[in-house]
Structure 1
């Protein structure tokens, strides 16, 4: 009589993903952010995996979590496997919908840089469908369903430098004659780029203590509209204010500009096939950036 022993249960893929992400990033919170779940869900997945294996995967203490020796040996293998799985999924997506291009970018870039250029892209390539997702930090393109990433940073192809300089309404600019005059007016600050004021001031006013006075915004687009409305002076990023400068809604009252080490960068996790929708969209964005 043939004996058919019960097949051992496979480990849950979602639990393995949580384990790999937490191990690679060294944090349950960072793993949760990457996977789009709560830290509690990552914790639950890891505990389920530990129970199924009968082994501890993370050592927990007041400073956080760290991999056990056995788990540390396994994580690189899982990372390679999930990277390969992500690449295969992207190939499948590209083959199934070859004319759809998914772009991940900063909210400010989506609203102030990409949006004004989409009509021209649609006119140049009406058969290409562009999908844009705004997020505060670049995604892991090896694991997420985005074709292109457009962010300020150091990863990817630089398509434009990141120049910063103060801008304001023409009426307010008439009252500003030298950088030191900024101490007497309202300065608008974006929360994500609060350090930019000090970087520019150090270059424009060496040796002068300057601290911007004024509201802090979590949305750069809102701060920009406030500046155009005369509410104060905003530290601008050239790519984000080009349209307003060209229209005369904003002006730069001083000549001094500072180029930051980072740049506006376009990145793809894999080589772009010649003539593909992704490559054509990327080239359009590169040419658009060159005209800033």
Structure 2
């Protein structure tokens, strides 16, 4: 008579994923944000995993959690495994929809840099469908379903251009400015993400003043308000080049400041020659470099 012993239960994949994210990021809250769940869910998954194992993976302290020796030992293998799983999933997505390219980018880049270039890309490659997701920070391309990532970053790899900043304003506002010191007499608009732009440029220009004005949570909105005559704004050359070309914005001063960061387009995996993602990346680099603001 055949004997079929009960099979030991596998460890839940969701719990293992929760452990790996929390361990890699050093925070249950950050793990929850990455996985799109609550911090309570991460805690519950980790506790259930520890109960099943009969061993602790984290030490709980008044200052938070830290990995136990067991957790430290197994983390690298799980990180490699989930990275490989993410890459396999993305390869499957790409093979299933080979003409669709998913791009993750900053909201300001999506609106002011990427969107104006899409008509030329569609005309050149009508068979390619572009999907854009606006995010506040670069995604982990090993784990998320994006083919390309377009963000500012300090690494020159994949750089389309240097991030160069300088004040811009509507022509009517520029007529009232004879030098950087005159900026103290008008509103100086700011973006919440790039809140230090004014201080950096003013210091480089040798202007001993403080820029004051409204702060916007969206850079694209600050640009539109600047076009409408609300004041001056620190322009990022790549993002306001269209307005400069049309004359809706002007640069009242010659001083430029190159920041230690670049507009970067990159992928986590090699892009096959002739693939939709490779063609899209090549087109965007060509279009971007051709219109980069010096």
TM-score calculated relative to the size of structure 1:
0.97
Matched, 1:264 2:247: no
Q: Report the Cα distance in structure 2 between the residues aligned to 1:132 and 1:145, rounded to whole angstroms.
A: 11
Q: C-alpha offsets along residues 132-180 of structure 1, whole Å, 9 cap, x if unaligned? A: 0000000000000000000000344111110000100000001111111
Partner residue, 1:158: 159
Q: Report the Cα distance in structure 2 between the residues aligned to 1:225 and 1:79, rounded to whole angstroms.
A: 43
Partner residue, 1:89: 89
Q: Report the Cα distance in structure 1 between the residues aligned to 2:241 and 2:82, rounded to whole angstroms.
A: 40
Partner residue, 2:11: 11
SS at match of 1:160: strand
Offset, 1:63:
2.1
Offset, 1:184:
1.2
Please show how residues 1-292 of structure 1 align to structure 2 within 5 Å.
Answer: 1-155=1-155, 156-205=157-206, 208=208, 210-292=209-291
Q: C-alpha offsets along residues 21-78 of structure 1, whole Å, 9 cap, x if unaligned? A: 1111111111122212222221121112112112111112232211111011001000
Question: 1:112–1:221: 8 Å Cα contact kept in structure 2?
Answer: yes
RMSD, aligned α-carbons: 1.1
Q: C-alpha offsets along residues 231-259 of structure 1, whole Å, 9 cap, x if unaligned? A: 01111101110111111110001000100
Q: Report the Cα distance in structure 1 between the residues aligned to 2:154 and 2:45, rounded to whole angstroms.
A: 33
Aligned length: 290
Question: 1:180–1:205: 8 Å Cα contact kept in structure 2?
Answer: no
SS at match of 1:193: coil
TM-score calculated relative to the size of structure 2:
0.96
Q: Report the Cα distance in structure 1 between the residues aligned to 2:257 and 2:154, rounded to whole angstroms.
A: 17
Q: C-alpha offsets along residues 3-33 of structure 1, whole Å, 9 cap, x if unaligned? A: 3221111111111111101111111111122
Q: Report the Cα distance in structure 1 between the residues aligned to 2:183 and 2:37, rounded to whole angstroms.
A: 44
Q: Runs of 4+ in structure 1 displaced over 3 angstroms?
A: none
Bigger Cα displacement from structure 2, 152-161 vs 90-99? 152-161
SS at match of 2:193: helix
Unmatched segments (≥5 aa) in structure 1: none
Offset, 1:99:
0.7
Q: Report the Cα distance in structure 1 between the residues aligned to 2:153 and 2:281, rounded to whole angstroms.
A: 17
